């Protein structure tokens, strides 16, 4: 091996999770190398097409609520360290058909952690936000302290802080595999090999490209979002909160029109599977890219069903149960895997990065990451080979 250089930690994939981890590692004094196949933030992965919702009343367990609250505090810290506006506390309104999904399962954890929320009926939703058209039996859950994050700015902010703390960043460099050698770890890339004591793999939609050295059950999915011209008096920022809504026709999420950009809407369920190396079809390649989003607007936010201003294509990286995977590699000690963020991970990136850095530095997993263990997929622990 020529040109080998030793680091305390190498981060494979410097996107949402990896760039945050890079900052938290370097801030702890660890000699850190970040490697990315692109030049983050970029438009090839899962973090572009900002903004991203941040909510704290969560389904799935108290660990999500605690991580969301910690992440929120760390986003505010990132704002103060960089002097940038990254988080807009617009409030988030979640609307649902209780026959398809009820919010009740979220309340106990939110109450325990002291998160503010209001439970609303359809009439109250229409009174507060007249741009909404909600069937009479639907319910709303409103979080006044929730909002949205400018995700590309967040990745750029962590990048500048990580570099300022002494981390090194290799852009446009694809990692090809990871192996153990001579008591350490070797990361093979398109530019040569690098050695480190520990490795964090946060490869987003590309985990499959790292098999067989890393083999976890993550399926990337093509997702579209659109921005639609809307009546700014009803749907502009400051008038409409961020939102999610779900019923028998599917689950959607979106944002008010920010600086006249149009109401942004995306669909959470569905999408076409994508494999690393395949062409990613642009927005509009399939008629349903626009028609599906427009139909949802027409039904629930009728004054936002205007001209399509722009569309974008992004990738979800789904785990089988749509819960995160954060665990040590089953057969490569010292390699941490962080993936399967399943379309709801960005809000947590600041806290996941911090937790990965803590785990790397201490050798012990933080308690709130334990539910994300790979052991819930027995075939994955058997399949991953060094």
Ligand X SMILES: Cc1cc2nc3c(=O)[nH]c(=O)nc-3n(C[C@H](O)[C@H](O)[C@H](O)COP(=O)(O)OP(=O)(O)OC[C@H]3O[C@@H](n4cnc5c(N)ncnc54)[C@H](O)[C@@H]3O)c2cc1C
Q: Is the CB of 25 or the CB of 210 nearer to ligand X?
A: 210
From 38-46, 125-133, 228-236, 358-366, span contacting ligand X (CB under 6 A): 38-46
Q: Residue 246 pairs with which residues in a beta bridge?
A: 96, 251
Can you tell me which of 132, 206, 235, 359 binds ligand X, judged by CB under 6 A? 206
Q: Is the CB of 47 or the CB of 130 nearer to ligand X?
A: 47
- Contact string 68-87 vs ligand X (x = CB under 6 A): --------------------
Instruction: Rule CB under 6 A: say whether 22 interacts with ligand X.
Output: no
Instruction: Rule CB under 6 A: say whether 196 interacts with ligand X.
Output: no
Q: Is the CB of 70 or the CB of 347 nearer to ligand X?
A: 347
- Contact string 210-249 vs ligand X (x = CB under 6 A): x------------x-x------------------------
Residues 254-293 touching ligand X, rule: CB under 6 A, are: 266
Closest contact distance (angstroms) between CB of 165 and ligand X is: 19
Instruction: Rule CB under 6 A: say whether 316 interacts with ligand X.
Output: yes
Burial code of 60-88, b = ≥16 C-beta within 10 A, e = fewer? beebbbbbbbbbbebbeebbeebeeebbb
6 vs 4: CA distance, rounded Å: 7
Instruction: Rule CB under 6 A: say whether 326 interacts with ligand X.
Output: no
Residues 337-356 touching ligand X, rule: CB under 6 A, are: 339, 341, 343-347
Instruction: Rule CB under 6 A: say whether 153 interacts with ligand X.
Output: no
Q: Is the CB of 241 or the CB of 339 nearer to ligand X?
A: 339
Q: Which residues contribute to the site for ligand X (CB under 6 A)?
A: 12-18, 35-38, 40, 44-47, 49, 52-53, 174-175, 202-204, 206, 209-210, 223, 225, 253, 266, 314-317, 339, 341, 343-347
């Amino acid at each position: 091996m020529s040109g080998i250089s030793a680091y305390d930690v190498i981060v494979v994939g410097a996107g949402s999770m990896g760039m945050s981890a890079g900052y938290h590692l370097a801030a702890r004094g660890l000699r850190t190398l970040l490697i990315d196949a692109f030049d983050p933030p970029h438009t090839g992965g899962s973090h572009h097409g900002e903004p991203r919702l941040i909510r704290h009343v969560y389904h799935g367990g108290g660990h999500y609520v605690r991580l969301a609250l910690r992440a929120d505090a760390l986003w505010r810290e990132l704002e103060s360290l960089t002097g940038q506006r990254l988080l807009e506390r617009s409030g988030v309104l979640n609307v649902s058909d209780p026959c398809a999904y009820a919010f009740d399962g979220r309340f106990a954890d939110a109450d325990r952690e002291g998160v503010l929320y209001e439970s609303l009926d359809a009439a109250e939703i229409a009174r507060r936000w007249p741009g909404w058209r909600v069937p009479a039996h639907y319910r709303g859950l409103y979080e006044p302290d929730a909002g949205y994050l400018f995700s590309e700015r967040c990745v750029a902010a962590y990048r500048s802080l990580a570099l300022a703390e002494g981390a090194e960043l290799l852009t446009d460099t694809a990692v090809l595999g990871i192996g153990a050698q001579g008591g350490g770890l070797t990361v093979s890339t398109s530019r040569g090999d690098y050695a480190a004591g520990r490795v964090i793999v946060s490869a987003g939609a590309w985990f499959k490209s790292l098999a067989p050295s890393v083999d976890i059950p993550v399926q990337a999915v093509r997702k579209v979002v659109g921005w639609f011209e809307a009546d700014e008096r009803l749907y502009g920022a400051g008038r409409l909160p961020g939102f999610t809504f779900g019923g028998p026709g599917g689950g959607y999420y979106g944002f008010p029109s920010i600086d006249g950009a149009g109401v942004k809407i995306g669909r959470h369920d569905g999408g076409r599977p994508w494999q690393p190396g395949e062409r990613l079809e642009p927005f509009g390649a399939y008629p349903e890219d626009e028609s599906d989003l427009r139909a949802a607007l027409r039904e629930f936010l009728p004054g936002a069903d205007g001209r399509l201003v722009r569309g974008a294509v992004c990738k979800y990286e789904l785990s089988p149960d749509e819960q995160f995977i954060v665990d040590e590699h089953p057969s490569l000690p010292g390699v941490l895997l962080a993936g399967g963020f399943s379309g709801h991970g960005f809000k947590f990136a600041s806290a996941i990065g911090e937790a990965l850095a803590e785990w790397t530095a201490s050798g012990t997993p933080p308690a709130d990451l334990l539910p994300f263990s790979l052991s819930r997929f027995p075939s994955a622990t058997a399949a991953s080979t060094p």
